[in-house]
Structure 1
Amino acid sequence: MTPIFRLCDEHITRSAELDPVDAVYMGISGDFGVSTDYGPEGHAARHDLIKSTLAELDTLEPTSQDDRRAADHLRERLQAQAAWFETGEQYRDLSSPFGLLSTVRDSVDLLPTGDDDQWRRVAAQLAAVPEMLASWQASLDEGLSRGLVAARRQAVEGAGQAEKYAGTHDELIASYGEGPLAGELAKAAAQAHQGYVDAARYLLEKYAPRAAERDGVGPERYAVAARQNLGADIDLVDAYEWGWGELRRIEAEMVEEAHAILPGASVDEAIAHLNATQYVVGSEAFLAWLKAKHDGAIAALHGTHFDIAQPLHTVDVTLAPGSTSGSAYYTAPSEDLTRPGRTWWPVGGRERFATWSELSTVFHEGVPGHHLQLGAVAVAGDKLSRFAKFSWVSGHGEGWALYAERLADELGWHTEPGTRMGMLADSALRAARVVIDIGVHLDLPLPDGSAWSFEKACEVLRERGRAVAHTVHPEIVRYFGWPAQAISYKLGERAWLEARAEAARKPGFDLKAWHTAALDLGPIGLGNLRAALSEL
C-alpha cells in the first residue's frame, strides 16, 4: 500500500471512529461504537481530522496514476468538506426529509440482525438515539447564539418528521420475536421513540420561533454547497438559463410522446390515461412488481453492456411506509458485502401505484444506476483507495444514475405502455429542479420576471416538472433545505453525456468497455470528470 493509499485508509478509519452512525450508513466494516457526537466538540474533531489529513497529503508525492487519482480525489473532497465547516454549516445542519434525523433513524434498519450479539448492537444504537439528538440540538443552540440559523420551514418540517419517526422501530423489534433480548430491545426502542418526540418538541417550540424566515441561503453559502455536491465550481447563472432551455426541450419531446400514446392527446390527457390504466393495487403487488423489474434489469445487462459481479446480482427492494421522503433512494452494499445494496420506496399513503411512472426510477436507483455504480466501487478491490470507496460526489453519482435512465431508453427498455413518458417526466422533474434550486437560493427571477416562493416552486415542479402529487411538497422542502443537491442530477448527466460523446469520437470506441472503465475510476468531482474519462 502506498503512503497516499494508506492515508486514505487511515482517514476512513478515523472518520468512522468519530461518526459511527455514518460508518453504519456507509457500510464500513469494524466496531466503532454506536453513538455519534453531533455537538460542537464532535464537529470540531471531524474538522480537525480533515485539516490534519490535508496537511499530511501535502507532504506526499504520487508514485503512479492510481496514486495521483487517489490524492486528487481526497484533496478535492476534503477541501469541499472543510469549506462547509468554515461557513458554520455544522451549527445550522437542519434539513428535511433527508438530513441528520433520517440518517440516525435509517441507520438502525441497516444494522445486521443475524444473532443475539448483533441484536445487542441494535438495542445499544436505539438507546443512544436520545443522546445523539440532544448533541445535535446543542450544535443548533450554538448556531442560534452565533446568528447561524436554518430556515424556519426546515424546523417545522423536521419536527413533523421526528414525530412520525416515533414508533417506527416497532416492526423491527417485533421481528426479533420472544428471545432473551426482547425486553431490552423494547426498552431501547421506547427510548429512541422518546428521543424523536423530544427532538420534535425542541424544533417546534424552541428552534422554529428563532429560525430564519428566508428559505434561500444566498450566493456565498450556495457556492460552497455547489462545490460539495458537484465537485466543481460552475457559473450558476449560466446553469440556471441552461436549465430553463433543457426543460423546454424535454417538454417538446413529451408532446410527441403523448401523441404516440393517444393520437391527438395532450400531455395531461396522456398522463391521465396512463394513471387510469397502468397501475397495480396494494403494497404487496407493488413490491412484487419492483422486484421483478430490478431482477429483469440485471439479467438484461449482465454480459451485454456490463459485466456485473456476482455479489451485485441481488438488490434488496424495500418499501418504506414510514418515510417522509417523496422519492425512492438507495443505500450501498456494506464493505464486506454481507449487506446487499438496497432500494427504498416510500409508500406515501398510497394503495394504488402507477407503474408507468416508476420504471425509470428502478433503472436510476437499481441497475444500471446507483446499484451498479456503487456496487462496482464495493467490489473494486485494491484498484481504488478506501476513501474513494466511501466518499460520494452527488454530481458524479446522481449524474450517472440519470445517465442510466437515458441509457435504458437507448437500449429500448421502455416497451410497456407509457414508461417512456415516465422517463421523460422524470427528466423534466430534474430540469425543473435546476431552475427551482438555483432560482430560490440565489433569488433569481423567473422568465416572466416574478420572484420565487414556496408556492411558486410547488407550481413549477407540479406543472412543468410533472411531479406526482404526493411528492411535490416533500420535494420542495428537500430543495429548500439541501441547497445545490437538486442540481447535481441534470448537471451531472450533462457531464457524463459530454464525456461519452467525446470518447465516442475516438476510433474503436466500445460502449461496454467504456462503461466498465468509467465505473472502475470510482467517484470523481465534475471538475475533473472529463479529463479523467478522456484518459480511458
Structure 2
Amino acid sequence: MSLTKNRLLLLAFTLSFAACTNMAKQSGNGTDSLHHIVQHYYDEKMLLFPLDATMNGEHQYDGLLQIDISEHFRQRLDSFYTRYLQSLQGIDTASLAPNDLISYLMLLREVSIGKEGLRFPDNLMPFQQFWGMTLTLPQLGSGTGAQPFKNKEDYEKFIHRMKTFAEWTDTAIVNMRKGMATGYVLPKTLVVKMIPQMADLSKKDTGNVFYAPLKTLPAALDSNARLQLKNEYTATIEQYVLPSYAKLKQFLQSEYLAKARTSSGLDSLPNGKEWYAYLIRSWTTTTLTPDEIFATGEKEVARIRGEMETVKTSTGFKGDLPAFFNFLRTDKQFKIFSTPGQVLDSFRAIKDKIMPRVEQMYGHLPRTGFEVRQTEAFRAASASAEYMQGSADGTRPGVFYVPILNPKEFGYTGMECLFLHEAIPGHHFQISIQQENDSLPKFRRFNWIGAYGEGYALYCESLGKELGLYTNPYMYFGRLGDEIHRAIRLVVDVGLHSKGWTREQAIKYMLDNEPLSEQEATAEIERYMAIPAQALSYKIGEMKIRELRNKYAQQLGNKFNIKDFHDELLGDGCVPLSVLEEKMARRFK
C-alpha cells in the first residue's frame, strides 16, 4: 500500500469520525452512538498500528509498518486520542446497558491513559533486549507467526515491511542520539545483551530467520515466477534488513554503549518518578503507590516463604531454605531431559492429564487450536516462556513457546504451573475466548490489560491441585516458587524504579528468596529494568481475582458454581480491575 493511500485512508477515517462525533453530541441514543465510536476507534487504530492488525488477523495492512517512534507519528496519535476523548463526552452513560457501559469505561480509560503516556519520551529508548520492533519483525518474518506467507501478494507485503524497517532503524538511531543528549538512555547492562541480538540478525546466512519463508514459496507459482519472487525477497533482506541490523549493532557498540547509564531504575531519568507512577497506573489499572506495592510484596514473600518451609520439611531435607533452593537447582534427579523434544512432549502430557478436570471447571471452552513449540534460536537466550495468541478465525493456533537453551539443564519442578499460566487454562483460554466472542466490539476482542490477563494466568497456577497436578512435594514447591516469584516482583520492581536499588541488589534479593540460578535471576531483573511496572500486574491482578472467588464462594455457599464463576470471569474479555469487580458484583449479587 502506498503512503498516499495510507494518508487518504486516515483522512477518510477522520472525516467519517467527525460525523460520528456530531451524531454522539446530537443523538439521544447513546448506545447507537457508542457502537459507532468504538468501531471507528478500532478501525482507525488498526491503521495506526498495522502490526497489531496483523496479530489480530486483520490483514488489510500487512504491507504497512508505521514509524511509530517518530515525532510526527506521536503528534498524530495525540490528535487521535483527543478526538475520541471529545466524542465520548457526548455519550449519555445513564442509557447504556451493562455491556455497553463496560465498553464506554474501557475506551475512556484507554484513550485517557494513552494520551497521558505521550508526555513521556519512551521513543528515545525505542527498543531493548526484551521488546521492540527489532524482535517483532523477525518473529513476523519467520514464516510461522502472524504474518501470512500463502501467496505472492503476502510475500510482497512483507517485502514492503522489510524496506520500511530501514527507515524505522534510521529513526531509532536519531532518537537514541537525542536520548543520549537529554539523559534518556538505557542501562549499560541491557545494551550489552542487545548487541549480540543485532549481530545474529545481521548475518547473511540461511540460518537467519528472515530467510525461512524462502523455503516455502507458493506452490501455485510457476518456476520463473518463483525464481523472480525468491530473488526479489532475498535482495530485500540483503539490501534493507541485514544492513539495518548491522547499523544498529555498530551504533550500539561504538557509540551508545559508552553513553548508556550505570543506574538500573527509571527514577534515575529526568521525570523518572512521575513516569514510573504513570506506568503503575497503566499496568495495574489501580491507584496504588509504589510504597503500597512494595509493602504488599514483602508481606506476600514472607507468607509464601512460610509455606515453602513447611513443604521443605515434608521432604525430609535437613538444610535451610537457601540450601533447598540450591538442591532443587543442581540435583540431577530434577534434570531428566536430554533433548528439546522430551521437554516439549512433557508439556503436552500435562495438557492431556488436566483436560478432563478443566472441562469440569469451565463451561465455555475455546475453539482456537493450541500447540507447544520451542522458542526460536535468535531470541531464546533473552526470552521467557510465553504464549502467542492464535487468530480469531481459527486459521492460526495459539502457541506456547518454550526457550530451551540446554535440555539437560531444564528442571521439571516448575513445568506444571508454567503450563497452567501460559497455556491451559491460562492465556490460551482467556485470549482465545475473548477473541472468539463476536458479541464484543473489536477493540475489546483484541484488547490486552496486563492486570487482568496476567492476573488471571497467575490465578490459574493456583488451580493445580484441583486439576490433579502438584502431586509430589517438589512439583508443589515449584508452584510456590512461581508464586513467590510474582510476589518478589512487587519488591524488586519498585526497588529498582523507586527506591534506588541496583541491579545486583535486586538479583541478590531474588536469589535469596526463590530457587533460581543466577543466570535466570539476572535475566528476570534485566527484564524489569527494560519494561518498568509490567511485572507488577501479575500479582496485583491475581490477588483481586482470588479475593472475588473467595468472596462469592463464602456468600453463596452450596449455590456457588465454579463453572459459572470462570465463565463470568472470562466472558467480557480483558477489563480493568475496577470494572471486573463491578461486573462480578452484578452477576453474583
- TM-score, with length taken from structure 2: 0.83
Instruction: Tell me which residue corresponds to 2:295.
Output: 241
The answer on whether the counterparts of 1:326 and 1:472 sit within 8 Å (CA) in structure 2 is: no
Instruction: Tell me which residue corresponds to 2:306.
Output: 252
The answer on whether the counterparts of 2:361 and 2:563 sit within 8 Å (CA) in structure 1 is: yes
| Shift, 1:3, TM fit | 2.5
Judging changes above 3 Å, is the alpha-carbon distance between structure 1 residues 34 and 261 closer, same or farther for their aligned structure 2 residues? farther
| Shift, 1:229, TM fit | 0.7
In the alignment, the residues of structure 1 paired with residue 348 and residue 77 of structure 2 have an alpha-carbon distance, to the nearest angstrom, of: 39
- Aligned pairs for 1:353-364 within 5 A: 353-364=410-421
Deviations 1:185-236 (A, max 9, x none): 3333333233222112223333333344332112211111111111121132
Q: Does 2:34 align with 1:4?
A: yes
**1:58 paired residue among 85, 89, 96:** 89
- Give 5+ residue unaligned stretches, structure 2: 1-30, 218-222, 268-272
**2:395 paired residue among 321, 338, 344:** 338
The answer on whether the counterparts of 1:437 and 1:487 sit within 8 Å (CA) in structure 2 is: yes
The answer on whether the counterparts of 2:284 and 2:537 sit within 8 Å (CA) in structure 1 is: yes
Larger RCO, structure (CA 8 Å, separation 6 or more): 1
- Give 5+ residue unaligned stretches, structure 1: 445-451
- Aligned pairs for 1:15-414 within 5 A: 15-37=45-67, 38-62=69-93, 63-109=96-142, 110=145, 111-167=147-203, 168-170=208-210, 172-173=212-213, 175-176=215-216, 179-180=226-227, 181-190=229-238, 191-218=240-267, 219-264=273-318, 266=320, 267-268=324-325, 271-272=328-329, 275-302=332-359, 304-309=360-365, 311-323=367-379, 324-382=381-439, 384-414=440-470
In the alignment, the residues of structure 1 paired with residue 325 and residue 186 of structure 2 have an alpha-carbon distance, to the nearest angstrom, of: 37
In the alignment, the residues of structure 2 paired with residue 76 and residue 245 of structure 1 have an alpha-carbon distance, to the nearest angstrom, of: 30
Amino acid at match of 1:91: L
Counting helix residues as a fraction of each chain, which structure ranks higher? Answer: 2
**1:431 paired residue among 463, 469, 487:** 487
Deviations 1:502-521 (A, max 9, x none): 22233222111111011112
In the alignment, the residues of structure 2 paired with residue 260 and residue 313 of structure 1 have an alpha-carbon distance, to the nearest angstrom, of: 40
Amino acid at match of 2:36: R
Amino acid at match of 1:482: I
In the alignment, the residues of structure 2 paired with residue 100 and residue 291 of structure 1 have an alpha-carbon distance, to the nearest angstrom, of: 31
Judging changes above 3 Å, is the alpha-carbon distance between structure 1 residues 22 and 213 closer, same or farther for their aligned structure 2 residues? farther
Instruction: Tell me which residue corresponds to 2:561.
Output: 510
Instruction: Tell me which residue corresponds to 2:536.
Output: 487
The answer on whether the counterparts of 2:373 and 2:399 sit within 8 Å (CA) in structure 1 is: yes
CA RMSD of aligned residues (A): 2.6
The answer on whether the counterparts of 1:331 and 1:343 sit within 8 Å (CA) in structure 2 is: yes
- Aligned pairs for 1:459-474 within 5 A: 459-474=508-523
| Shift, 1:356, TM fit | 1.9
| Shift, 1:86, TM fit | 1.3
| Shift, 1:363, TM fit | 0.9
In the alignment, the residues of structure 2 paired with residue 286 and residue 185 of structure 1 have an alpha-carbon distance, to the nearest angstrom, of: 35
Instruction: Tell me which residue corresponds to 2:44.
Output: 14
**Bigger CA drift: 357-366 or 461-470?**
461-470
| Shift, 1:428, TM fit | 1.5
Equivalent pairs: percent with the same residue?
A: 21
In the alignment, the residues of structure 1 paired with residue 114 and residue 127 of structure 2 have an alpha-carbon distance, to the nearest angstrom, of: 17
The answer on whether the counterparts of 1:357 and 1:419 sit within 8 Å (CA) in structure 2 is: yes
Aligned residue pairs, count:
527
**Bigger CA drift: 386-395 or 365-374?**
386-395
The answer on whether the counterparts of 1:93 and 1:150 sit within 8 Å (CA) in structure 2 is: no
Larger Rg: 2
Q: Does 2:565 align with 1:525?
A: no
The answer on whether the counterparts of 2:130 and 2:527 sit within 8 Å (CA) in structure 1 is: yes
Judging changes above 3 Å, is the alpha-carbon distance between structure 1 residues 155 and 401 closer, same or farther for their aligned structure 2 residues? same
Judging changes above 3 Å, is the alpha-carbon distance between structure 1 residues 272 and 351 closer, same or farther for their aligned structure 2 residues? closer
| Shift, 1:494, TM fit | 0.9
Judging changes above 3 Å, is the alpha-carbon distance between structure 1 residues 385 and 330 closer, same or farther for their aligned structure 2 residues? same
Q: Secondary structure at the match of 1:344?
A: strand
Amino acid at match of 1:198: K
The answer on whether the counterparts of 1:428 and 1:466 sit within 8 Å (CA) in structure 2 is: no
The answer on whether the counterparts of 1:429 and 1:466 sit within 8 Å (CA) in structure 2 is: no
Q: Does 2:553 align with 1:498?
A: no
In the alignment, the residues of structure 1 paired with residue 214 and residue 261 of structure 2 have an alpha-carbon distance, to the nearest angstrom, of: 41
The answer on whether the counterparts of 2:199 and 2:245 sit within 8 Å (CA) in structure 1 is: yes
Instruction: Tell me which residue corresponds to 1:448.
Output: none
In the alignment, the residues of structure 1 paired with residue 254 and residue 114 of structure 2 have an alpha-carbon distance, to the nearest angstrom, of: 31
In the alignment, the residues of structure 1 paired with residue 32 and residue 199 of structure 2 have an alpha-carbon distance, to the nearest angstrom, of: 48
Q: Secondary structure at the match of 2:387?
A: strand
Judging changes above 3 Å, is the alpha-carbon distance between structure 1 residues 95 and 231 closer, same or farther for their aligned structure 2 residues? farther
Q: Secondary structure at the match of 1:311?
A: coil
Q: Secondary structure at the match of 1:339?
A: coil
Q: Secondary structure at the match of 1:199?
A: helix
Amino acid at match of 1:301: V
| Shift, 1:296, TM fit | 4.1
